[in-house]
Amino acid sequence: MDEWPELGTSVRLFVKTWAGEGIHEGILLHPSAVDLVTIKLNNGYNISFPENYISTFEIISNPSVVQSNPKSNPKQESSLPLVYLIHTGGTIASKVDYKTGAVSASFEPSELLNAMPELENIARIKVLKIGNMWSDDMRPRHWNMMLQATEKAFSEGASGVVITHGTDTLHYSAAAMAYGWAGEGTRPPGRIVLTGSQRSPDRGSSDAPENIIASVMWAANGPNPSGYRDSSVIILHANSSDGNCAVLPGCSSRKYHSSRRDSFKPINQNPLANILIDKKEISIVMRDKEPLEARIEVTKPQLFDSNIRIAEFIAGPHIQPDLVESAINLKFDALLFHGTGLGHLPISNPEDDSIENTRLKAIISDFCADDGIVVIVAQTIHGPINMNVYSKGREQQDIGIIGHGSLCPPGSGLVKLHYLLSISNTRADIAKRWTLDLVGENPEFTLN
């Protein structure tokens, strides 16, 4: 085989495999493994072949010059609302350099407006980049960076902000924005949206453009936040098709699917609205937003204490008392258990053959007796924690485990606990506040 052309070259491959001969056209990428040839097909997907399967190739065109700003800066209408786009990372605001195979941020206003001309009629766009992180690498200190970025945007007159974020932990950051701005019965000065994408922008099936368009639409023209359920929202595709994005409460949603475009759902409540996108019109259709009286507006959010450490455990056959005891000895600030069913832990030993259950109960009992903070959330995601149904649940309450009567989903529960630890360090106060519905995470319900 002749020497391969420069990466980024558009090529036509003549391939012979066990299934027969075929012709494939695409852009030459870095090989996905040794002795493979990888191209990006016209539909956006990558395909690789062993080099010895390729009988010959033709060059269709040479690599195009990658420009950071291929067009002049579009004029932004001064009368439109100002929306800040705050970039943290993820695939939603990125582009592929086919010469290197690398994904880089494509986040200048001119690039976004050139790629999505619909934005020109919705808002004036300003951009603030605070990082380019995988969302699973984020820590509470990054929640504070987002809170401070939103504060800056609102201080400069923004009607709303859109935080672009990797989807894997987007629901944690959305909850952090909600508690940080509204946890004390307040509300932010404007609308806060978090969005991401499941498919990278270089793929024909990408959900990124519509997610950004819908998010900017809400940030610019959505209802003013009351501070309850809507102090932050998540906006992503409502189903697998284009044209419909869901507006979900940031305090009570989570990612439920690893790859679908409609990967997020609200927990124990309904979406707030839908944003419909067609070629001629973008519209907001309200659904289940309570007509509540707005809370007091604040100009500064409550930041999280980044020194707080919470130890998380999953209740099940392999939860070990030694690990729980280690967390206590290492002076973690609180223990958070993802309980089974209605919120249970393996602390009973009815057959007298599981001494680890007895030890776990003793360790938790002693920790609570020493004013240690232990909170339980549901593994089941939907439904309440109800420790009144079974004797074990009542025993857990007697021990001092917090959580009974809560509808707060597990991800939001972790953020809520961190928030409460940031503003209070007494067990009694945290136990009292846990039962409250601070930002819409714990709506009223009837325990059956």
Residues classed as catalytic: 91, 167-168, 255
DSSP 118: G
Q: Would you state the torsion angle of the CA atoms of residues 47, 50, 56, 59, taken in this order, to the nearest 10 degrees?
A: 40
Q: Are 379 and 410 in contact (CB under 8 A)?
A: yes
Give the CA distances from residue 276 to residues 218, 247, 387, in Å, rounded to whole numbers and listed in that order.
Answer: 11, 11, 42
Q: What distance in Å separates the CA atoms of residue 230 and residue 145, rounded to the nearest whole number?
A: 20
Residues, the chain: 448
Residue 248: exposure state from Cβ atoms within 10 A (0-12, 13-18, ≥19): buried
Hey, how many other C-beta atoms are within 10 angstroms of the C-beta on 303? 18
Residue 156: exposure state from Cβ atoms within 10 A (0-12, 13-18, ≥19): exposed
* Amino acid residing at 399: I
Q: What distance in Å separates the CA atoms of residue 138 and residue 310, rounded to the nearest whole number?
A: 15
Which pair of structure tokens corresponds to residue 334?
């609180």
